[in-house]
Each structure stands twice: as C-alpha cells, then as structure tokens.
Structure 1
Amino acid sequence: MNTKVKKILIFLVSTSTSFVIAWFFTTYNKNLAKVNIVNDDFVTNLLGALLALSIAIITLVYSTIEKIHQRITHHPNKNNIEITINSLFSALKKDTWIVFVFLITIIVVILLRDTDVPYLTYPNFLPITRINVVYFVKIFVLFLSFIAVADIILCLFALIKVSNQR
C-alpha cells in the first residue's frame, strides 16, 4: 500500500475513533462534570506534561544525532537510512507541534466556555448543551494527543532501530 494512502487512512481512523469516543462519553455519561479527566486543571496539566515529554524526546534524539551519523557513515544503505531519519524527525516535529496546538485549543475553549459574546448566542436547536461541547472538545483533543504522543514514542523506537543497523 502506498505510504501516503496509509498515513491518510491512519489519520482518518484515529480521528474518527477519537470523535466517536468523545461523542459517546459526552452523550451517555450524565455525570461527566464529576469526572476528573474533564477538569480544566487536569486537562491543561496533562497536555502540558505530554508537550514536555514530546520536547524531551526530541531533545534526546537531537543530542544523539551525531552518534547516529557516525554509526551509519560506512553503511551500504546510508542514503536510505538518512531519508528514514529525516522523515522520522519530521514526524516528531509535526506531532510535537500538534500537541502544542491542542494545548492552545483547550486553553481557548476553557476561556470561551463562559464568555458571552454580544449578538452571538448558543443555538437552542442543537441536541448538545454548551458545556457538553466543551467536554467533547476536551475528550476529543485528549485522545488525539495520546495518539500523537504514541506516534512520537514509535518514532523514537524507529530511530533507535535505524541507528543500530550495521
């Protein structure tokens, strides 16, 4: 299967799965306000910790890049390994950026939750309440962040595997 098609398919499956999970919890959990995971402090602290973990992994990888290049200097597939390493670094950078964007998104949603903008009101015809929209966004973003961090960890293991090729 083509790599681009595979990446798009993985993106669609992970996004739709996160969407369904968030929709399920916000629709069928009537005591969602009591669940600690949708608490503002918990969500922002967790996303901040995930972002810190992502940055720490990138720092770890960048500090070992010279050793990786020294190991593959005389490898017969040096060009392929360098292409793989560059694509993995690109994926690390994108995933870390995504976690950062999710953190900003959660902060904006928290700030807008109780804000009343003149001439803009929450539509009454929607089957979901305003607070459930906030809970939905929080849960949806958390699951997508978990997927991004899992991808970061997989990239780290892939870089270790590539650097150990002899």
Structure 2
Amino acid sequence: MEWREVIEHPSLRDLPFKIETNEWGKIMMTPATYTHGLYQGRIIGWFERHGEEGRASGECPIQTSKGVKVADVAWASRAFLKKHGVHNLFLSESPEIVVEVASPSNSAAEMQEKKLLYFEAGAREFWFCDGEGNMHFSNPRGELERSELFGEFPEHIDIDFA
C-alpha cells in the first residue's frame, strides 16, 4: 500500500495507534501507552522552547528504504523546512533529529533497525527515550554522551508530578 493510500483510507483515520509501512507496503501498527505520549509531549515541548532555529513535530512520517517509518518526534532546521516545505504526506529525507520513545511492543532490534534507517535517510542524530525517561543519543558514527546539536537537552525526562 502506498503512503497516500494509507493517509486517505477512511478506515485508518482514527486508530488509537501509530501506522507505518514496511518495505513491501504492508501496514504495521504499534500501540502506544499514555506514558509514551507524556514523554513525547515533553520532548516536543522542550524543542518548542529551545529549538527556535527549526520546528519540532510529532508523528513524523519519513520514507526509508524499508517503507515509511513514523518518528515519535522529529526536529527540522529552518534550512530543512525551506528545502522540503511543510505540506507533505511524508518526508523523502529525514529531518536532522529523529526521536523514538519506547513502547512496550518495541524490541531492541526494531529500534536499532529504525535508527539505521533514519541515518540512511539523512538524520544527523537519533535520540531514544527509554521506558524510564532516560535519553540515549547517537549519530552515524556511534553513541554520544550528549547531543551534538542540542547539548543542553536533559539526560532524563521527568513526567511524574507526584
């Protein structure tokens, strides 16, 4: 199934989970939790406060060599947005930063594959938020202690108000 067909299909519009496609155009669905959404929201909020040279988005569809993958969060610079525009069904190239937030259904192998696919599509950094809110940063050369693009990004995301 082509991404346009997925977007336009009336039965797929209001599902409570994220849809991606694999390399054969088959629909893959990943259920998300409330905790997942809280981490996602906090990361987007941080970018909105500190990433003024670009824009953050949630649920960012990116064409990869293995289908359209939907990043939980992505940050794109003004230059990227100027080049690619903002009115797209999906991006043919990855924004500079792609963030995935752990879901109970994600495996380590799946996250590793997504990281490699995003780098292949042009991402400069891949960030992973584990189930405890700990942030892990990497670039195409390997793991990073901190983000090279946003060194002030916290190493831990707190979602607990108690």
Classify the TM-score, shorter chain. Answer: under 0.3
Give the number of the structure whose residues are more often strand, by fraction: 2
Of structures 1 and 2, the larger Rg is shown by: 1
TM-score (norm 1): 0.22
Q: Which structure dedicates a bigger proportion of its chain to helix?
A: 1
